[in-house]
């Protein structure tokens, strides 16, 4: 018996999935959640084999929720907004169900999951190839211990590469997140954030000084007195943005 969780903020959508699941005796619905925060708790508690996940939900969306889970269950997305889906789902997800969907379409998604032996492409792959979601350049969702925090990007001082993760530096502290530097280079507003080194992206509004540092090299000083190296290839671009 495979364990299933439904995560969707619409009661009607959850009830439809439940009714369709009733035709699959080998699948057991063990929990349902109406938002991403509760969904994370449910996944951590029950460790399901498969989740039906809505994309557009209050507080945090489905993609942001996936970034915060440690285990990787099978994922079938349910969405009313196909413009958010196609690129990611065609390359990475097991399947997606465009609301409203039929029992036949639902069964095909289940069959597709079973044909993959209940496995899923990595969550990282789904997230990295997803189309940009609304407000994604305005906030970063992180897990801080048992808490989930939403960080407005205008409070970010700089982002630092950290092995397979990044450190999101704020005035309060830094937060570790499993993302790539290239992801944030593409996602964050280029008017406010600039990658000045392969290991650093800075908030230009936090910049106070550029100075020579060692031979033919420069570094940036931020308002919190952080010293950030500037690569040779980025130096001219930074001067241009600053009008120097």
**pTM metric for this prediction:** 0.73
Of 65, 64, 61, 125, the C-alpha closest to 91 is 125
Going residue by residue through the chain (244 aa), what tens digit of pLDDT does each one get? 999 999 999 999 999 999 999 999 999 999 999 999 999 999 999 999 999 999 888 888 888 888 888 777 888 988 887 665 555 555 456 778 888 999 999 999 999 888 876 555 545 555 554 445 556 678 899 988 888 899 999 999 999 999 889 999 999 999 999 888 998 998 898 889 999 999 999 999 999 999 888 777 889 999 999 999 999 888 887 878 777 6
- Are 18 and 29 in contact by the 8 Å Cβ rule? The answer is yes
Whether the upstream peptide bond of residue 65 has omega within 30° of 0, thus cis, is no
* Beta-bridge partners for 219: 211, 229
Q: Which CATH number fits domain 2-129: 3.40.50.720, 3.40.50.300, 2.160.10.10, 3.40.50.2300?
A: 3.40.50.2300
Where in the chain is CATH 3.40.50.2300? Answer: 2-129
Where in the chain is CATH 2.40.50.1020? Answer: 139-242
Architecture (CATH level 2) of domain 139-242 = Beta Barrel (2.40)
For residue 98 the two structure tokens come to 């465009």
Q: Rounded to 5, what percent of the chain is helix, strand, coil?
A: 35, 35, 35
């Amino acid at each position: 018996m495979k364990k299933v969780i439904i995560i969707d903020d619409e009661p009607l959508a959850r009830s439809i999935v439940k009714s369709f699941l009733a035709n699959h005796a080998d699948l057991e619905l063990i929990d349902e959640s109406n938002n991403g925060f509760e969904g994370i708790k449910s996944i951590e508690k029950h460790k399901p084999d498969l989740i039906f996940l809505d994309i557009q939900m209050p507080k945090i969306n489905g993609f942001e929720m996936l970034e915060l889970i440690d285990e990787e269950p099978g994922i079938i997305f349910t969405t009313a907004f196909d413009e958010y889906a196609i690129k990611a789902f065609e390359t990475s997800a097991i399947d997606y169900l465009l609301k409203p969907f039929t029992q036949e379409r639902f069964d095909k998604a289940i069959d597709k999951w079973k044909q993959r032996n209940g496995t899923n492409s990595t969550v990282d792959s789904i997230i990295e190839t997803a189309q940009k979601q609304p407000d994604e350049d305005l906030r970063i969702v992180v897990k801080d211990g048992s808490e989930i925090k939403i960080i407005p990007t205008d409070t970010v001082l700089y982002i630092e590469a950290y092995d397979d993760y990044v450190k999101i530096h704020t005035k309060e502290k830094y937060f570790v997140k499993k993302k790539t530097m290239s992801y944030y280079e593409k996602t964050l507003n280029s008017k406010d954030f600039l990658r000045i080194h392969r290991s650093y992206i800075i908030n230009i509004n936090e910049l106070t000084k550029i100075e020579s540092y060692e031979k033919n090299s420069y570094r940036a000083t931020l308002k919190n007195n952080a010293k950030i190296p500037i690569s040779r290839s980025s130096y001219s671009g930074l001067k241009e943005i600053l009008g120097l």
